[in-house]
DNA sequence: TTTTGTGGTTGACGTGGATCAACGGTGTCC
DNA sequence: GGACACCGTTGATCCACGTCAACCACAAAA
């Protein structure tokens, strides 16, 4: 939407060993000793304002990013103007893995709110993961997890109906908020109906109607972006009962 | 479909340095010196008969696989019986990357024809990629490429219409056959209409109708699984012209 | 040769979600 | 405070694709 973006690099050096996101982020499961080495790896932090991009499709690939605060969406766009949100990312998650293959980013990463990331220069990461076994293994796991996640989305897009897709989305968000110490039942979505729709392969009107339907059925209470899940079991059942999907 | 499968491990030691698939496979771009080290890495070959599985969801993850001959599909299945083909793989492509994250495979890999793979024990791969920089980098690229590919499929499933999806599929197949030294215009599909449909998020009847439509329009000639592309430009145009897709 | 099975094609019909359109709520910038 | 922009909701209508069903082609078995 906006043109190029003023980049803010805070002088603050990141520190994995001090960070309270270790359990969600790249360093997960690494020994204290290895963790200290990671502090060398992670470069400066960078702040990204709402609606601004961390990187855009076509940018040369130099680093991956760990989200320290805030949240992002990634999207791909076709030359004819159509676009598709490929994911929403929260704190501790890693952005930029798409860039390794062609040494150029293949999607846009845009902040959904004012956010901050840790910059992990990719060359350094490769170098250090030759020395630190735990880092190498974690990094592979992070990439593999992304592949598995994408398969899940393909499943959703290829074989679920509108309400099933939204139910799956809400349960997924709930689980991720829970992992971050927030309530499983009550949370604030940072993305618009249009963005949810793009991600789920639906039009925004369909998303809105599905929300209304869930509210009628007492499954959730919806007030704009504020969601309260009233009947998680009901949402799960929506997913399991083969409802004649496409 | 079938129950568990007799596994055939041929005594033949694989050899990357001798293999004519180097340019498509994991070793791509590696120096001759590094290539020789790869020969230590790759274990036995394994033959998989048509319709049999290389691994199934839930199997413990031990190795990744490079396809030496033949082709595969991967699919995920939901507890309610629905399933979704997440990809078709050809010679030189790598299978099993989904298993790293949870140390368990998350999808099924099934041979579309009698096939053969090179078994790459994952522990050894990690070990060796700590020593061989080129290997590490190539491996990361392979994983990243998989992520980018998945984003493309998400785009297709989320925002293209039936005929666009099939056109994209045919062009993709054509390109991959070309890369393997086959004709870009004429090839034999190894998968059924139902499998194509599952991959593209369509019913088999819709796939069949789209094929018929393409034939009427002189874009391709279709005889069962044998495809001849008569007008590649026409197929590409189908993709670009915003045809009011969903 | 007939039989059986699997995969593919085609037609008639139904429907879930897209499209088009109007309107209501909320936040932000003067 | 008022005006504007953006986002969300809801209704009416349409159409692409799913569903159901019949039939055909080819291959393997008998």
Q: Please report residues of A whose CB lies closer than 8 A to that of B144.
A: 97-101, 143
Question: What DSSP state is assigned to residue B46?
Answer: E
Which CA-bearing residue is nearest the C1' of D7?
A192
**CA–CA separation, A198 vs A204, rounded Å?**
8
Neighbours of B185 (CB within 10 A): 16
SS3 B8: strand
Q: What would the DSSP string read from start to end of chain A?
A: ---S---EEEEEEP-GGG-TTTTTSTTTT--HHHHHHHHHH--EEEEE-TT-EEE-TTSBP-EEEEEEES-EEEEEE-TTS-EEEEEEE-TT-EE-GGGTTTTB--SEEEESSSEEEEEEEHHHHHHHHHH-HHHHHHHHHHHHHHHHHHHHHHHHHHH--HHHHHHHHHHHHHHHHHHTTS-SSEEE--S-HHHHHHHHT--HHHHHHHHHHHHHTTSEEEETTEEEES-HHHHHHHHHS-----
Query: Would the CB atoms of B100 and A241 count as touching at under 8 Å?
Result: no
Select from A143, A154, A245 the Cβ nearest to the Cβ of B82: A245
Strand C: which residues have Cβ below 7 Å from it?
A 161-163, 201-203, 205-206, 224, 246; B 192-194, 204-205, 207-209, 211-212, 222, 224-225, 244-246
Model confidence over A5-51: pLDDT tens digits? 445 555 566 688 888 999 999 999 899 888 988 888 887 899 999 99
In whole angstroms, give the CA distance from residue B222 to residue B215: 7
> Cα torsion for A60, A66, A70, A76, to the nearest 10°?
40
Of B84, B107, B136, the CB nearest to A159: B84
Q: Could you tell me which residues come within 8 angstroms of residue B54 by beta carbon, excluding any fewer than 6 positions away?
A: B46, B48, B65, B72, B95, B96, B109, B110, B111, B117
**Chain B: residue nearest A203 by CA?**
B246
Grouping H, G, I as helix, E, B as strand and the rest as coil, residue B152 is helix
Sign, Cα dihedral of A237, A241, A243, A245: positive
Chain centroid to Cα A212, Å, comes to: 25
Report CA(B171)–C1'(D29) in Å, whole number: 38
pLDDT digits (tens, 9 = 90+) for B111-165: 999 999 999 999 999 999 999 999 999 999 999 999 999 999 999 999 999 999 9
Which chain C positions come under 7 Å from a protein C-beta?
Answer: 7-12, 16-21, 26
- Nearest-CA distance B185 → chain A (Å): 25
How far off is chain A from B17, nearest CA to CA, in Å?
Answer: 23
In the prediction, which pLDDT does B80 show?
Answer: 82
Ramachandran region of residue A8, left (φ > 0), alpha (ψ -120 to 50) or beta? beta
* Most B CBs within 10 Å, among A137, A148, A149, A153, to test the B interface: A148
Rounded Cα gap, residues B10 and A14, in angstroms: 51
Task: State whether B143 and A141 contact (CB < 8 Å).
Answer: no
- Whether A130 and B126 lie within 8 Å, measured CB to CB: no
- Position A5 scores a pLDDT of 44
pLDDT averaged over every residue in chain A: 91
Interchain pair A155, B76: CB under 8 A: yes
- Per-residue 3-state assignment (H helix, E strand, C coil) for B97-127: HHHCCCCECCCEEEECCCEEEEEEEHHHHHH
B191-221: per-residue pLDDT in tens?
A: 999 999 999 999 999 999 999 999 999 999 9
Query: What is the tens place of the pLDDT at every residue in B75-121?
Result: 998 888 889 999 999 999 999 999 999 999 999 999 999 999 999 99
**Residue A181 main-chain phi, psi, to 5 deg:** 85, 10
Report the predicted TM-score, pTM, of the whole model to 2 decimal places: 0.93
Burial environment of residue A142 by CB neighbours within 10 A (0 to 12, 13 to 18, 19 or more):
buried
pLDDT at site A4: 44
- Output the pLDDT for position B240: 81
What's the Cα-to-Cα distance from B186 to each of B175, B221, B229, rounded to whole Å? 11, 9, 6
Which residues on adjacent β-strands are paired with residue A75? A85, A108
Better-predicted residue by pLDDT, B39 or B125: B125
Q: Which nucleotides of strand D are protein-proximal, with an atom < 7 A from a CB?
A: 7-12, 16-21, 26
How far A240 CA lies from chain B's nearest CA (Å)? 6
Average pLDDT over residues B211-237: 96
Question: In this predicted structure, what is the pLDDT of residue A245?
Answer: 41
- pLDDT exceeds 80 at position B182: yes
The pLDDT of residue B241 is above 70: no
Residue B209 (CA) to nucleotide C12 (C1'), in angstroms, measures 15
Average pLDDT of chain B is 91
| Chosen from B85, B151, B199, B245 to mutate, greatest number of chain A CBs within 10 A | B151
Looking at residue B8, its pLDDT comes to 52
**Token reading at B150:** 């998945």
Compute the distance between CA of residue A185 and CA of residue B225 in angstroms, rounded to an integer.
Answer: 50
- Write out chain A's pLDDT in tens, 246 residues: 434 444 555 556 668 888 899 999 999 989 988 898 888 888 789 999 999 999 999 999 999 999 999 999 999 988 888 899 999 999 999 999 999 999 999 999 999 999 999 999 999 999 999 999 999 999 999 999 999 999 999 999 999 999 999 999 999 999 999 999 999 999 999 999 999 999 999 999 999 999 999 999 999 999 989 999 999 999 999 988 654 444
Q: What is the C-alpha to C-alpha distance for residues B207 and B196, in angstroms, rounded to an integer?
A: 7
B9 band by pLDDT with thresholds 50, 70 and 90: low
Question: Measuring from the CA of residue B192 to each C1', which nucleotide is nearest?
Answer: C7
H or E stretch covering B158: helix B133-159
Distance B65 CA to D17 C1' (A): 37
Q: Of A24, A64, A123, A74, which Cα lies nearest the Cα of B150? A: A74
Shortest Cα distance, chain B CAs vs residue A184, angstroms: 23
pLDDT given at position A214: 97
């Amino acid at each position: 939407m906006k043109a190029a973006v003023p980049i803010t690099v805070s002088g603050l050096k990141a520190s994995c060993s001090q960070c309270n996101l270790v359990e969600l982020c790249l360093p997960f499961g690494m020994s204290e000793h290895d963790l200290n080495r990671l502090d060398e790896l992670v470069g400066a932090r960078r702040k990204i304002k709402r609606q601004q991009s961390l990187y855009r499709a076509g940018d040369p690939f130099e680093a991956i990013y760990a989200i320290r605060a805030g949240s992002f969406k990634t999207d791909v766009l076709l030359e004819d103007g159509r676009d598709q949100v490929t994911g929403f990312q929260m704190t501790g998650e890693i952005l930029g893995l798409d860039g390794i293959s062609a040494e150029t980013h293949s999607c846009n990463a845009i902040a959904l709110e004012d956010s901050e990331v840790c910059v992990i220069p990719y060359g350094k990461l490769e170098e250090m993961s030759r020395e630190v076994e735990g880092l190498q293994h974690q990094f592979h796991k992070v990439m593999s997890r992304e592949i598995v996640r994408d398969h899940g989305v393909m499943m959703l897009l290829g074989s679920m109906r509108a309400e099933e897709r939204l139910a799956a989305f809400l349960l997924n968000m709930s689980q991720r908020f829970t992992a971050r110490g927030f309530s499983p039942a009550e949370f604030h979505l940072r993305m618009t109906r249009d963005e949810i729709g793009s991600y789920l392969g639906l039009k925004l009107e369909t998303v809105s109607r599905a929300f209304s339907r869930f509210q009628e059925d007492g499954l959730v209470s919806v007030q704009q972006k504020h969601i309260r899940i009233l009947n998680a079991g009901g949402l799960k059942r929506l997913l399991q009962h083969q409802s004649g999907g496409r």
